[in-house]
Structure formats: C-alpha cells, structure tokens
C-alpha cells in the first residue's frame, strides 16, 4: 500500500509538473502563439509544423486535438487545415518522452540531481527577479523540476517489483500478444487522459524493472490510440464537422498502428526475434515513440484527403445553419479553445471585433431610419440592439473564463481591455438605439428637418461612423495608424457637434425650425458625439497594448 501511494503521489507530481511547464511555456510564447495561428492555411505541411510546435509548448497532444475540435466547431479551421495540425500534434507529443529519457544520458541528468537544481533556478527567477519574462521562464524550470521529482517517486515505487514474477509474466504476455499490449496502452492512456503521461509511466517502469522491447512497442502503439478518446469525448455536442476532426485523429492513429503492428510482427517473427526480448530503456521508448509518430505522418500525409473523406462516411449529414447571431457567437466562443489560452485570447478578439461590426451596422441603420424616415429600419435597429446585448453577455462570460487560465501579464492586459471594449461597444449600440427612437418619434409626430439640418447631420454621421470603423479596425489589426486617425476624427466630431449645436440654436432663434424638431436634432448630434468618444476609448485600449 505504501508503494502504491508513493507511485500515485509521484504520478500526480509528474502531471502537475508537466502541466506547470506547459503553462510556463505558453506564457513565455505569448504573441508567438498568435503568429502560429496566423499561418494556419490550407497548406497541410504548415499545419503539421504548427501542430508540432503548439503541442511542444502545451505539452499535451490531447489538449491540442481538443483545441482543434474547438476551432473546427467554431468555423475557424476547416478539415483540410485540421488534418495537418492533428498529424503535427502527434509529433509534438514526443518531446515529453525525450525530456523524461534525459536521466539515462548522464548521471548529472538523473531526476535526483536535476530536480533540485531546476526548482532552485525556477524559484530564484520567480521570487527574486522583477522581469516578467524571467518569471515565466522560472515557472518552466519549476514545472521541469516537479516533473523529475514525480519521476523519482514513481521509479522508487516500482523498483521493488523488478524481480516480481507477476510483472515478468504480464510483460511477457503483452509482448507475445500484440492485441493485449495495444489494449493495455489504450486503456491506461484513456484513464490518465494524456499520452505524454502514459509514456512517462512506461519509461519509469522500463527504468526500474525488466520490460521486454516487444511489450513496450505494442503498449506505445496502444497509447497513441488511447489519446484519441479525449478528442472524441470533447466532440460530444459539437457540430458534425468538428466530430469529423476528432474521427480523423482516431483514424490516423488506428491506421498507423495497424501498419506498424503488421511490420513489427513480421520483424520480430522472421527477421530479429531476439530483439523483442531485449531489455527496454527510456531512450529506446523515446526513439520508437518518435519513429511511430513521424513515420505515420510521412506514410499518411499524402492520403490526408482520404482521411477527410473517410471521416465523412463515419459522421454523415450536414450541419444545420445557425438560427441567430447568438448561436453563431456561442459556437465561436468554444470552451475547448480554452485548452490553449493564447489562442482563446485571439478568438475573443475576433468576437469583440464581430460585436463591433454589428454595432457599426446598427448605427448606420438607425441614422438611415432618421434621415430616410424609414419605419422598417427603425424596427430593424431595435432588434439588432437586442442581439448586441446578448452577444455582450456571451463574450463577458468567455473573458471571465480566459482570465482564470494561464495567461501572461500582457494577455491579462488585453483581456481587461476587451472587457472595457465590449462595454464601450454596447454603449455605441445604446446610442444607435437612441437615434432609432428619435427617428420613430420624428416620424410619429410628423416632424421634418430642414435641408440644412439634414446636410449637417449627414456630414457628422459619416465622420462618426468612419471613426468607430477605424477603432474596430485598430482592435482587429493592432494598427497604430488607425489609432492616430481615430484621435484626429474624434476631435473633428467634437468640433462638429459644437458648431452644429450653435447653428441649430441660431435657426431656432430665427424660427427656421420648431423647438420639437430642434430637440431631435440636438439629441442626435449628442448621441453621435458620444459614439465617437467610445470609439476613442477602444482605440486607446489598443494603444496601451502595443506601445
């Protein structure tokens, strides 16, 4: 019981260290993750590279594939793009096994020696330096050290069983029965929800006891199938295209496992039977794990389109179109993407921009309702405002979830600015609604603006809409030139508001328009000036992030 508790505790520390190292790497990567997202094109080769790099940073192919399902569900990736990233994720997951194997290369790299050194360096960087980048590197070192402490505990718990006949007979059975070995590998990986972790367990067993090479390779093959279950489970509730992405991951690993299993059986049976009974090392597990994942990618990469086609045979039918803007945004703010917080931040920016575009469109509709005396546009503006309010709540909930993930200080600043931005955008929507209500009042009371008033309003409306459009463009592209134009335009709108107010008061004094019409005019230019103020706020948030 003591040994079991030690092993479980060691495994928990190992998982925590791996998770901590992944969080530190993500924080340190920061905007580089955004650049990775930008190169996701229909070029599958680039997809493989991105998948490998993301998984190396996240330290989990399961997290990457779950994220891919989320991206596909959100419509941010198509299946052609996803298949390359999935293949790359399998390659990236081999990094952890090489980190674990380091202990065999030199006595100085053994867990007992590496752990205290890594934690000491990490603790120093985290607690005694002020530089944020160094603190993030410190988190990586602490995670690295915890990983090695966990390995040490697991190794100590397994060592007493080195001569155990039960272990010996079990490993012999796994080596002689490929199906049994693959099944064990798949089940263990499914239970721990991480192929990197299950490979780490296998390496620990290999270092502490006698593990035949044939048993090890079959278990590794099973581990690559078991890791697909996480993505399959995450696809529950997703659209059909996202489900196909999860099945592509499963098909890729099953087909690769079948090919390698047939080849290994032939090799161990007819070419080199003795090799199957040799003792496995941690490094040999890393080598085979890498050969399998790289080899499967090389073999199946040319047939990626067939995998997409086959997934369509498994998951039949087409996705139904979304019923409303709310459904669309809810699908885009997919919680699976939170597995990779850096990408979740970028996804949130896209939806804030989307909300901004809706507010701009509603401003146009509301002002047109006033200028054109159009009842239908007034009603449309009122409906749109309800959608904007719903979308604000959805984005707010998503931003709260992002703020509770492992993001660096710069990303925290972006998230805080996004909170403020959606509040400003929602206020733009409110002012558009105010203008729509002024239009309705204008029509209901059979009021008419003079030609001069209409011309002046049109001028101010155009400048205001241009200002909010530039602010949303600045948010989307982090465009410093757009920010400068927003600042200039906002000053112009402020000046226009003052001039138009004076001119209209002069018209009122000359009895060129009625007091009731004057209220509509003055309230409209006041709402337009407030819209430009909110546009300036949005631009300043972006300016704070990039300067």
Confidence tier at 210 by pLDDT (50, 70, 90): confident
Task: Work out the average pLDDT over 328-341.
Answer: 74
The dihedral sign for the CA sequence 286, 292, 293, 298: positive
Do 350 and 295 belong together in one domain? Answer: no
Residues belonging to the chain? 547
Q: Would 132 be classed as within a structural domain? A: yes
Do 296 and 160 belong together in one domain? Answer: yes
- Which has the minimum average pLDDT: 32-46, 64-78, 247-261, 431-445? 32-46
The dihedral sign for the CA sequence 79, 84, 90, 96: negative
Do 330 and 297 belong together in one domain? Answer: no
Residue 212 is given by DSSP the state B
Helix 375-403 vs helix 409-444: angle between axes, to the nearest 10 degrees?
A: 160
Q: What is the pLDDT of residue 251?
A: 92
Q: Would 319 be classed as within a structural domain? A: no
Do 387 and 266 belong together in one domain? Answer: no
Q: Which domain holds residue 32?
A: 2-314
Q: What is the pLDDT of residue 330?
A: 59
Q: What's the CA gap between 342 and 34, in Å, rounded?
A: 7
Say which residue, 367 or 316, is predicted with more confidence: 367
Give the H/E segment covering residue 407.
none
Q: Would 320 be classed as within a structural domain? A: no
Do 274 and 385 belong together in one domain? Answer: no
How many CB atoms neighbour CB 419 within 10 A?
17
Q: Would 65 be classed as within a structural domain? A: yes
Q: Could you tell me the pTM of the whole model?
A: 0.78
Do 407 and 506 belong together in one domain? Answer: yes
Residue 319 is given by DSSP the state P
Q: Would 6 be classed as within a structural domain? A: yes
**Residue after which a domain boundary falls, among 314, 337, 352:** 314
Do 362 and 487 belong together in one domain? Answer: yes
What are the beta bridge partners of residue 212? Answer: 279
Who contacts 498 (Cβ-Cβ below 8 Å, separation ≥6)? none
Q: What CATH number has the domain bearing residue 432?
A: 1.20.58.220
Asked if 289 contacts 199 with a C-beta cutoff of 8 angstroms, the reply is yes
**Residue after which a domain boundary falls, among 314, 334, 349:** 314
Mean pLDDT (the chain) is: 85
Q: What is the pLDDT of residue 323?
A: 44
How many CB atoms neighbour CB 102 within 10 A?
17
* 171 pLDDT more than 70: yes
**Residue after which a domain boundary falls, among 251, 285, 314:** 314
* 374 pLDDT more than 70: yes
- Which has the minimum average pLDDT: 3-17, 175-189, 316-330, 518-532? 316-330
* 447 pLDDT more than 90: no
Tens digit of each residue's pLDDT (9 = 90 or more) over 173-194: 887 889 999 999 898 888 877 7
How many CB atoms neighbour CB 105 within 10 A?
11
* 89 pLDDT more than 50: yes
Do 78 and 6 belong together in one domain? Answer: yes
Task: Work out the average pLDDT over 1-13.
Answer: 85
DSSP 22-40: HHHHHHHHTHHHHHHHHT-
How many CB atoms neighbour CB 425 within 10 A?
30
* 363 pLDDT more than 90: yes
* 322 pLDDT more than 80: no
**How many domains does the chain fold into?**
2
Q: Which two tokens stand for residue 171?
A: 């490993």
Q: What is the pLDDT of residue 324?
A: 46
Do 295 and 382 belong together in one domain? Answer: no
Task: Work out the average pLDDT over 270-298.
Answer: 91
* 319 pLDDT more than 80: no
How many CB atoms neighbour CB 282 within 10 A?
24
Q: Give the residue among 536, 504, 524, 389 at the shortest CA–CA distance from 461.
A: 524
Q: What is the pLDDT of residue 42?
A: 63
Exposed e or buried b per residue across 522-547, where buried means at least 16 C-beta atoms within 10 angstroms of its C-beta: bebbebbbbbbbbbbbbbbbbbeeee
Q: Would 481 be classed as within a structural domain? A: yes
Do 209 and 280 belong together in one domain? Answer: yes
Q: Give the residue among 418, 383, 400, 421 at the shortest CA–CA distance from 536.
A: 421
Q: What's the CA gap between 224 and 502, in Å, rounded?
A: 74
DSSP 485-540: HHHHHHHHHHHHHHHHHHHHHHHHHTTSS-HHHHHHHHHHHHHHHHHHHHHHHHHH
* 149 pLDDT more than 50: yes
Helix 213-226 vs helix 282-300: angle between axes, to the nearest 10 degrees?
A: 50
Do 203 and 68 belong together in one domain? Answer: yes
Q: Give the residue among 419, 407, 409 at the shortest CA–CA distance from 545.
A: 409
Helix 213-226 vs helix 240-266: angle between axes, to the nearest 10 degrees?
A: 170
Q: What's the CA gap between 178 and 221, in Å, rounded?
A: 9
Task: Work out the average pLDDT over 214-222.
Answer: 92
Q: What is the pLDDT of residue 41?
A: 60
Do 261 and 338 belong together in one domain? Answer: no
Q: Would 349 be classed as within a structural domain? A: yes
């Amino acid at each position: 019981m003591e040994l079991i508790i030690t092993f479980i505790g060691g495994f928990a520390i190992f998982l925590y260290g791996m998770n901590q190292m992944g969080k530190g790497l993500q924080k340190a990567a920061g905007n580089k993750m955004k650049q990775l997202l930008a190169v996701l094109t229909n070029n599958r080769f680039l997809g493989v590279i991105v998948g490998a790099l993301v998984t190396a940073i996240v330290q989990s192919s399961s997290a990457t594939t779950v994220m891919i399902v989320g991206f596909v569900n959100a419509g941010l990736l198509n299946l052609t793009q996803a298949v390359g990233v999935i293949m790359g994720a399998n390659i990236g997951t081999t990094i952890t096994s090489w980190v674990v194997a380091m202990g065999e290369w030199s006595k100085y790299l053994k867990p007992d020696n590496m752990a205290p050194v890594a934690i000491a360096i990490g603790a120093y960087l985290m607690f005694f330096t002020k530089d944020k980048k160094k603190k993030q590197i410190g988190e990586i070192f602490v995670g690295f050290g915890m990983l090695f402490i966990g390995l040490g505990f697991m190794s100590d718990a397994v060592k007493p069983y080195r001569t155990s006949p039960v272990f010996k007979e079990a490993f012999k059975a796994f080596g002689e029965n490929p199906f049994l070995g693959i099944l064990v590998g798949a089940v263990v990986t499914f239970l721990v929800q991480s192929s990197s972790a299950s490979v780490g367990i296998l390496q620990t067993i290999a270092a502490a006891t006698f593990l035949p090479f044939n048993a090890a390779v079959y278990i590794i093959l099973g581990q690559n199938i078991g890791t697909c279950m996480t993505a399959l489970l995450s696809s529950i509730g997703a659209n059909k295209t996202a489900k196909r992405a999860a099945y592509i991951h499963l098909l890729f690993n099953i087909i690769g496992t079948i090919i390698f299993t047939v080849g290994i059986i032939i090799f161990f049976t007819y070419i080199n039977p003795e090799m199957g009974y040799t003792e496995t090392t941690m490094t040999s597990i890393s080598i085979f794990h890498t050969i399998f994942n790289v080899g499967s990618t090389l073999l199946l990469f040319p047939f990626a389109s067939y995998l997409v086609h086959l997934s369509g045979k498994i998951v039949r039918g087409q996705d139904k179109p979304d019923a409303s803007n709310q459904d669309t945004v809810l699908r885009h703010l997919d919680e699976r993407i939170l597995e990779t917080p850096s990408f979740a931040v970028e996804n949130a920016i896209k939806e804030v921009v989307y909300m901004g575009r809706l507010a701009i469109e509603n401003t146009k509709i509301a002002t047109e309702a006033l200028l054109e005396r159009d009842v239908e546009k007034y009603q449309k503006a009122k409906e749109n405002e309800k959608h904007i309010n719903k979308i604000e709540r959805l984005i707010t909930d998503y931003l709260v979830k992002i703020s509770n993930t492992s993001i660096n200080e710069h990303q925290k600043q972006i998230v805080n600015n996004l909170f403020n931005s959606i509040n400003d955008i929602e206020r733009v929507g409110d002012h558009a609604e105010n203008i729509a209500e002024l239009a309705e009042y204008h029509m209901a009371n059979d009021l008419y603006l003079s030609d001069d008033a209409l011309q002046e309003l049109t001028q101010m409306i155009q400048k205001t809409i241009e200002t909010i459009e530039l602010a949303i463009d600045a948010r989307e592209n982090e465009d410093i030139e757009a920010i400068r134009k927003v600042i200039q335009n906002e000053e112009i709108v402020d000046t226009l508001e003052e001039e138009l107010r004076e001119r209209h008061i002069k018209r009122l004094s000359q009895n060129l328009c009625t007091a009731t019409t004057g209220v509509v005019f003055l309230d409209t230019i006041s709402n337009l000036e407030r819209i430009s103020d909110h546009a300036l706020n949005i631009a300043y948030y972006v300016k704070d992030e990039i300067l």
